[in-house]
Amino acid sequence: MTIKTKLIMSLFLLLLLVDVSLGYVIKETNIECIVNPDNTINETITLLIYNDKDENLSSITFTIPQNVKNYTIYSPNGIKGYSILYEEGATTFGLEFDKPVPPRKYTNITFNLLVSDAVWIKNDIYQLIMSFPISSKNATIEVILPPGAVISSYQGNLFVTPSGYKITTDGKHQIIVWNLNLNKEITFTIAVKYTFVKFPTQNIIETNNILTNSNLKYTLILLMLSILIFGGLFIRENRSKKKILEKNISIINELEKLKKLLKNKDEEILKLNNMINELKEELNRANRNILSKDEIISVLNDKVSEYKSELDKLINENQKYLEEINYLNELVKKLKNENKKLKEKVEELNKVVEEYQNLKKGVLWDFLTEDEKIIIDLIKKYGHITQKELVEITKMSKPKVSRIVSELEDRKIIKKEKIGRINKLTLTEESKKLL
């Protein structure tokens, strides 16, 4: 990593620290350290975070006073991105939540780490020394010794510090537990000396399985949460659109029914006209048959009353249908206004997303050195290229190109892709969007 990159990351972490150190409180700290027979330590740190401000909490920093590797980070709010600063004997994480923590709400963060520099051996005596920054009032630290390990003692005094601990066992491991109730921030340092009564090789597999199962568990949890969050958003949006579509289709169907009813009424009116014509013909026939005037009037009055009653009935039904049409028209107008508002909101959100993408592009590009920009431009130009071709084009030394490529791979900007029989370099999907 270049000096420039380290300086930028340090400034980024410092800004995060200044921004959020006053924006949240760590309510509880739980630390579990599983000491493996190979003298590495599976350390799990769980923090209960409380946002005590009136605005959303979007990022935090946390420093672990050990050199760590093979780490995973989990939060129910999701981890959108993170940066890591390695200093001598310490590792600082800068985390950005995928879903910010609302004011006066809680969230958890769990770090799963592999520590390799906390156990020393002298004359078959193993000494574990670890420090933990504790800023919460309540904290629990649990150290699980390897199978077959026992705490060393001298004249009845166990080599465990500080005091206030409890010792338990699960039948295979000795477990040391500190339950803390603090009134200020401290750095809690523990020291344990132990030795082995025996070294059962079968337990190595069991301990490694603990790590594997733990990593697998958190990986599966992260995957399931990602599917639930993004899948839930997708389903919810589609359901909303589907409801609007179904409602519009229902209205259209009702209008079609009304059209059919009106068409039927027109047919009935046409029938009435035909009947009137028939009456005229009957009148003509009556006249031809020399019917009396009174008889003709009586027949006509009866027919007119009958037809008038039918006509009044049709008028009332038509009025009812007209009222229903007016109601449906108002409903359609209301839905159009709602659709217009939704469309405007979508456009606003698209603008926000576009501004965020542009900002993210600028930030990523500013973090690149000039040599890194040259390498990325060549990869963008050719689509995929080998390291040997980069050396030939840029005239940079092979070690320099190898180092730059390695750093860009670590930062997930480029990746190696097998094309034919040759591994070539291409941009990652994320960097294609941002660069």
Q: Give first-to-last CA distance, the chain, whole Å.
A: 21
Domains contained in the chain, number: 3
Give the Å distances, CA to CA, from 176 to 102, 106, 141, 365.
37, 29, 8, 48
Do 381 and 320 fall within a single domain? no
Q: What is the pLDDT of residue 417?
A: 87
Give the span between the Cα atoms of 138 and 135, in whole angstroms: 9
pLDDT mean over 73-87: 89
pLDDT at 226 over 90: no
Query: Considering the domain boundaries, does residue 140 fall inside one?
Result: yes
- Going across the sheet that includes 79-87, the strands are 57-64, 90-101, 79-87
334 and 414 in a single domain? The answer is: no
Same domain, 59 and 195: yes
Note whether residue 89 is domain-resident: yes
**Cα angle value 281/283/289 (rounded, 5°):** 105
DSSP 39: S
Does residue 216 lie within any of the structural domains? no
Summarised one tens digit per residue, pLDDT across range 98-129 is: 999 999 899 999 999 999 888 989 888 999 99
Tokens 């800068």 belong to residue? 94
CA 206, 212, 218, 223 dihedral sign is negative
pLDDT in tens, 407-424: 999 999 999 888 888 889
Rounded average pLDDT over 216-230: 49
- The verdict on residue 205 lying in a domain is no
What are residue 347's DSSP bridge partners?
A: none
At residue 40, does pLDDT exceed 80?
A: yes
Instruction: List the one residue out of 356, 361, 354 whose CA is nearest residue 413.
Output: 361
**Residues 103, 50 within the same domain:** yes
List all residues 6 or more positions away from 75 whose beta carbon is below 8 Å from its beta carbon: 95, 97, 107, 108, 109, 110
* Residue 71 sits in the same domain as residue 169: yes
Task: Give yes or no for a contact between 130 and 115, defined as CB atoms under 8 angstroms apart.
Answer: yes
Q: Are residues 315 and 194 in the same domain?
A: no
In the beta sheet, which residues pair with residue 117?
Answer: none
Residue 221 maps to a domain: no
* CATH number of the structural domain spanning residue 379: 1.10.10.10
Element (H, E) at 429: helix 429-434
Tokens of 3: 């000096």
CA distances from 433 to 302, 413, 425 (A): 84, 11, 17
**Whether residue 277 sits in one domain with residue 409:** no
Distance separating alpha carbons of residues 331 and 132, to the nearest angstrom = 63
Nearest to 26 by CA among 111, 109, 142: 109
Domain-embedded: residue 187: yes
- Return the sign of the alpha-carbon dihedral for residues 4, 7, 11, 16: positive
Greater pLDDT, 420 or 190:
190
**Same domain? 85 vs 48:** yes
How are the residues of the chain apportioned to helix, strand and coil, as percentages rounded to the nearest 5? 50, 30, 20
Give the SS3 label for residue 135. coil
- Of 200, 228, 257, the last residue of a domain is 200
Beta-carbon count within 10 A of 132 CB: 21
Which residues, including other chains, have CB under 8 Å from residue 376's CB and lie 6 or more apart? 368, 408, 413, 414, 427, 431, 435
Residue-number span of the structural domain to which 265 is assigned: 241-348
Among 52-61, 246-255, 327-336, the least confident range: 246-255
Return mean pLDDT, the chain.
Answer: 80
Separation of alpha carbons 327 and 321, rounded Å: 10
The backbone torsions φ and ψ at residue 82, rounded to the nearest 5 degrees and listed phi first, read: -155, 160
3 state DSSP class of 108: strand
Query: Same domain, yes or no, for 334 and 376?
Result: no
Structural domain includes residue 61: yes
* Residue 247 pLDDT > 90: no
pLDDT category of residue 270 using cuts at 50, 70 and 90: confident
Q: Contact at 8 Å (CB) between 140 and 177?
A: yes
Q: How does DSSP assign 49-83, residue by residue?
A: EE--SSS-EEEEEEEESS-EEEEEEE-TT-EEEEE
pLDDT at residue 192, as a whole number: 94
Shared-domain flag, residues 343 and 391: no
Please state whether the peptide bond connecting residue 37 to the residue before it is cis, i.e. omega within 30 degrees of 0: no
CATH at residue 159 = 2.60.40
- Clarify whether residues 262 and 191 are in a common domain: no
Q: If DSSP codes are grouped into helix, strand and coil, which group holds residue 145?
A: coil
Examine residue 229 and state whether it is found in any structural domain, yes or no.
Answer: no
336: pLDDT strictly greater than 80: yes
* Mean pLDDT, rounded, for 325-353: 85
- Residue 157 shares a structural domain with residue 276: no
How many Å apart are CA 152 and CA 176, to the nearest integer? 13
Of 82-91, 261-270, 370-379, give the range with the top mean pLDDT: 370-379
